[in-house]
Structure 1
Amino acid sequence: MTADQYIMNVFEIAALNYPGSIRKRIKFFFRVMLYGQQCVTKISGIFNDPRLKQIILKNPSHYTKIFRPYLHKGLRINDRVLSINNHYEFVKKYWNAKLMHAVYHEKWMRLADISFDKESQFHIVMQQSSKQYENEGELIIGIFNHHKIISVCFNFTKNKNGDRGIYISSAQGSSKKDFPETKDTIKYFTKNMGGMRPQALLIFVLTVIASTYRLKNILAVKTASHIKCKRIKTNLDVLWADMGGTPLDKISYSLPIHYQRKSIDNIKTNKRAMYKRRYAMLDQVENQIRCSLTQR
């Protein structure tokens, strides 16, 4: 690639990402000049695969988001690029064509359905991160009814030892202003799910994904390390602790890689029916997820 080609490509990328803002294009151009051609070249290299090329063409913001906080606070630009590389390296290696097409071209994959009665249908969906959350991770898993109940952003990761895992970078509920009925929906869901809250079910879903791909760890960002820590309302530290997580370092929590079920014999008699219902539904959800991830 010649210098002229390089400069032209940078301008093309800027035009694709900021079609209505010359100021933002210039800002992006100087960021590339500051950090060098290498970062842009590496992003191009990540998606230089027939299975991934359409992703970068439809989402050129992969070139720009590396210049902003990504995944968690304190991640340097080379590590941001590496995080994106590790995620898509996993996708290329472990995802079949059907799953990849559903998530990145049809925009979502329904992993499982939960039905409490004929009128209440809940769906567990995996989708590519929307523009609103694109710097918080590459994927979103959420529970939807007529609208989103709750979701988490995450990446597939690889540590220095080569162990693959999941990194949860955020958790979002629906807007109480736009969907005031969400609180009642969550109560209804929890009651009918045998006392299991939606956020706990999402963590269960991630343990099923981890088990399916034989991943080694599930980590989650601390509140203070969230890239939008001043704006988020959820105390993530409390949430992860409630899920059985323990502090790993100043940035992350470590969550259990397997869902821990209580022995029915150790549960109070008046609550056994509730737990049996919960576990039966979790078995159904797990079977659906495994099928969705592996069916070709």
Structure 2
Amino acid sequence: MIAEIYDVARRAYRFRHTSEGRRAVIFMVRAVLHWNTLRELYDFFHETEARKELYERNPFPLEQATRAFFYAGSTVAARIKLIKSHYSFLEERLNQADFVDLGLEHAREIWRSSETDIAWNAHLKLEPGQRKEGLLSVMMAVDHVTLYQIMFWIEQRDGVPTLVIGAMQGPNTENAQDFVREMTKRAHRFRTKNLILYMTQAVARSLGVQRILAVSNVGYYANNHIRRDRKLKTDFGAFWEEAGGWETEDKRFYELPLTLSRKEMDHIPTRKRAVYRRRFAFLDEVDAEIEERVKALMISF
């Protein structure tokens, strides 16, 4: 037991770095206290060759299970269940090489713009720095600068494969507003935060997910989205509702549609119809390319 725990700590943290060394000690104490439960997750990653390969190069799943991650009020048992569910789902559907790579830090491109003056694309990737909110991300970047990303995991909810969005993050640049404004123009006036959600919905459908949930303000695992005056920096709930979502019985989650609704042309002013036609054509191209790219990662049934 001690050897396995120390091995994870050694691979996950830099012992000589003061804050990480402290975090390593905390992890090891928690892991010892919860080992009877954590053993289930440790054994899970040693049941198949693909999981073994992933675990040998990614020490974080065991660490994630010991920390108050993913959503408010999650328990060690709940985190173990969702981690197992996520990797089981992807292992069943993805080619082994893609499954392992997406469990590490290797990106898989799922969309690329046809524009020639910029490199605008989207990809699936595990970002270790985002492991508090998920196990995989849909990331959209322009010239290698991240524009928006959605962190998520996939778990079984009432026997239904469900993609759960842990958080959404916008650009962290000095000119963030100008950056977003420029890319919104290029997306035919379709807001880029709506576009990253649209891409995530496309990924979910392509993978065979049947339901999408999103963590609410109440359900967010930390309070860093709330300012000192208790006002929200980011109102997750308002955006989920604007995107067609609704609050579930568990106030920590919203449910979102699998497909974004569109305005009927008859309800759009005549002067705006040309813009909407271009926007819808653009979204259809995004949808089709994501489906094609994601299907290429999957096992043929």
Superposition TM-score, scaled by structure 2 size: 0.87
Task: Give matches, 1:1-296, under 5 Å.
Answer: 6-20=1-15, 23-97=22-96, 99-100=98-99, 102-104=101-103, 107-115=106-114, 117-128=115-126, 130-146=127-143, 147-159=145-157, 161-175=158-172, 179-231=173-225, 233-248=233-248, 249-295=250-296
Inter-CA distance 185–42: structure 2 relative to 1 (3 Å threshold): same
The unaligned stretches of length 5 or more in structure 2 are 227-232
Displacement of 1:223 in angstroms is 1.6
* Identity fraction in percent: 23
Q: Which residue of 1 aligns with 2:229?
A: none
Q: Which SS does the other structure have where 2:150 is aligned?
A: strand
- Shifted more, 197-206 versus 32-41: the winner is 32-41
The question of whether the paired residues in 2 share the 8 Å contact of 1:47 and 1:55 is answered with no
Letter in 2 for 1:150: Y
- Shifted more, 33-42 versus 216-225: the winner is 33-42
Q: Which SS does the other structure have where 1:120 is aligned?
A: coil
Letter in 2 for 1:156: I
- Shifted more, 258-267 versus 32-41: the winner is 32-41
Name the CA distance, whole Å, in 2 between partners of 1:16 and 1:227: 25
| Number of equivalent positions | 285
Inter-CA distance 86–269: structure 2 relative to 1 (3 Å threshold): same
The question of whether the paired residues in 1 share the 8 Å contact of 2:201 and 2:259 is answered with yes
Map Cα deviations across residues 6-37 of structure 1 (whole Å, 9 max, x no partner). Answer: 22222222222234155444433321232233
Inter-CA distance 96–72: structure 2 relative to 1 (3 Å threshold): same
Root-mean-square deviation over aligned CA pairs = 2.0
Name the CA distance, whole Å, in 2 between partners of 1:17 and 1:37: 21
The question of whether the paired residues in 1 share the 8 Å contact of 2:37 and 2:77 is answered with no
Displacement of 1:231 in angstroms is 4.3
Letter in 1 for 2:273: R
Name the CA distance, whole Å, in 1 between partners of 2:207 and 2:5: 37
The unaligned stretches of length 5 or more in structure 1 are 1-5
Name the CA distance, whole Å, in 2 between partners of 1:107 and 1:211: 22
Map Cα deviations across residues 116-173 of structure 1 (whole Å, 9 max, x no partner). Answer: x421331011101x222112100011110020011110001211x3100110001111
Letter in 2 for 1:39: L
Q: Which SS does the other structure have where 1:156 is aligned?
A: strand
Inter-CA distance 119–170: structure 2 relative to 1 (3 Å threshold): same
Inter-CA distance 24–262: structure 2 relative to 1 (3 Å threshold): closer
Name the CA distance, whole Å, in 2 between partners of 1:254 and 1:151: 19
Name the CA distance, whole Å, in 1 between partners of 2:68 and 2:54: 21
Q: Which SS does the other structure have where 1:136 is aligned?
A: coil
The question of whether the paired residues in 1 share the 8 Å contact of 2:2 and 2:32 is answered with no
Superposition TM-score, scaled by structure 1 size: 0.89
Name the CA distance, whole Å, in 2 between partners of 1:250 and 1:183: 31
